[in-house]
């Protein structure tokens, strides 16, 4: 059974999609079979993995209305072990269209169950909001990974997400656990990054990954070429940080039995 991770934070620009793409690519480089589910109408994860959105026969939008056919909409990438269920801009109106459907919070869970065989990991990228699509992702996942930018309001920004997480866990998905908090855009030249790191580690303790993702030009450039950073510049500090994160994830005690089984 695939390990399903949702990468969520209601704040935009925290490195959520960058982490989805590059963690997935790093796991795939380690020959783990990975599926990315792009639930953000901006479709940045899809374009960042080189998907031609105009050539798709279907996307996450169609999958939400045809969960039983979701596997047909999965496409390959330029990495052998990495596939994606892409998003497209037409997904932006999905929340309104789904609002009257019974069990609307669990549609993505049905999709995941229909496609998870054959994968070791499923990574779900969410829009920067806590709306119905993000709720679907939280209900479909086993693990929550929270990218947290090293900025002044970092702790305030995560408070609302933690409240939503607690509510989802209580009412809709009691299996959802926090896998970890990932510090992103860490700048060693900036004292604030170290202050934020100290505060976050003191508050969340072992839930914070040892790996922190630095500010890195190559990470910013890679999406414009339709490539994950590992294919764009494997030697860059950003790429190596995501490789370290993937290794840390594979060695995580809570995942270890399932990873070995897969």
Q: How confident is the model at residue 262 (pLDDT cuts 50, 70, 90)?
A: low
The lowest-confidence range among 80-84, 104-108, 162-166, 231-235 is 162-166
Closest CA to 8 of 171, 114, 177, 147: 147
pLDDT tens-digit readout, 62-87: 999 999 999 999 999 999 999 999 99
Residue ranges of domains in the chain, CATH in brackets: 3-261 (3.40.50.300)
Extract long-range pairs of 68-76: CB within 8 Å, 24+ residues apart. 68/114, 70/111, 70/114, 70/115, 71/114, 71/115, 74/35, 74/115, 75/51
Task: Give pLDDT, residue 261.
Answer: 53
Report how far residue 187's alpha carbon sits from residue 113's, in angstroms, rounded to the nearest whole number. 39
* C-alpha torsion sign, points 176, 151, 209, 122: positive
Task: Give pLDDT, residue 129.
Answer: 86
Q: How confident is the model at residue 163 (pLDDT cuts 50, 70, 90)?
A: very high
Report how far residue 43's alpha carbon sits from residue 218's, in angstroms, rounded to the nearest whole number. 20
Q: How confident is the model at residue 257 (pLDDT cuts 50, 70, 90)?
A: low
pLDDT at 227 over 80: yes
Report how far residue 150's alpha carbon sits from residue 254's, in angstroms, rounded to the nearest whole number. 26
Report how far residue 52's alpha carbon sits from residue 173's, in angstroms, rounded to the nearest whole number. 34
**13-17, 81-85, 250-254, 256-260: range with highest mean pLDDT:** 81-85
Q: What share of the chain is helix, strand, coil (3-state, %, to 5)?
A: 50, 15, 35
pLDDT at 154 over 80: no
Report how far residue 5's alpha carbon sits from residue 122's, in angstroms, rounded to the nearest whole number. 6
Phi first, then psi, for residue 161 (nearest 5°) are: -65, -40
pLDDT higher for 260 or 233?
A: 233
pLDDT at 259 over 60: no
* Averaged pLDDT of the chain: 94
What integer is the mean pLDDT of 234-240? 98
Phi first, then psi, for residue 36 (nearest 5°) are: -100, 130
* C-alpha torsion sign, points 128, 133, 136, 141: negative
> Rg of the chain over CA atoms, in angstroms?
17
What integer is the mean pLDDT of 48-53? 97
121 in helix, strand or coil?
strand
DSSP E strand boundaries for 16-168: 34-38, 74-76, 82-85, 121-125, 143-149
What integer is the mean pLDDT of 216-231? 97
What integer is the mean pLDDT of 185-203? 93
Report how far residue 225's alpha carbon sits from residue 47's, in angstroms, rounded to the nearest whole number. 9
């Amino acid at each position: 059974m695939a390990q399903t991770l949702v990468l969520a934070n209601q704040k935009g620009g925290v490195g959520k999609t960058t982490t989805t793409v590059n963690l997935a690519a790093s796991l795939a480089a380690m020959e783990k079979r990975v599926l990315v589910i792009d639930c953000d109408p901006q479709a940045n994860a899809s374009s960042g993995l080189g998907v031609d959105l105009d050539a798709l026969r279907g996307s996450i939008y169609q999958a939400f209305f045809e969960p039983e056919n979701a596997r047909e909409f999965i496409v390959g990438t330029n990495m052998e072990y990495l596939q994606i269920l892409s998003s497209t801009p037409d997904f932006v109106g999905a929340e309104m269209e789904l609002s009257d459907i019974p069990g609307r919070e669990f549609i993505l869970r049905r999709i995941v169950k229909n496609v998870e065989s054959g994968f070791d990991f499923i990574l779900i990228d969410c829009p920067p909001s806590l709306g119905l699509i993000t709720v679907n992702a939280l209900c479909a996942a086993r693990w929550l990974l929270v990218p947290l930018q090293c900025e002044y309001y970092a702790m305030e920004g995560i408070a609302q997400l933690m409240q939503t997480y607690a509510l989802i866990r209580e009412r809709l998905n009691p299996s959802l656990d926090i896998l970890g908090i990932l510090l992103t855009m860490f700048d060693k030249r900036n004292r604030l990054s170290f202050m934020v790191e100290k505060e976050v580690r003191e508050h969340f303790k072992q839930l914070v990954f040892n790996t922190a993702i630095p500010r890195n030009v190559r990470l910013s450039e890679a999406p414009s070429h339709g490539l994950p950073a590992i294919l764009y510049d494997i030697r860059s500090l950003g790429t190596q940080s995501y490789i370290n994160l993937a290794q840390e994830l594979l060695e995580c005690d809570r995942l270890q039995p399932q990873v070995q089984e897969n």
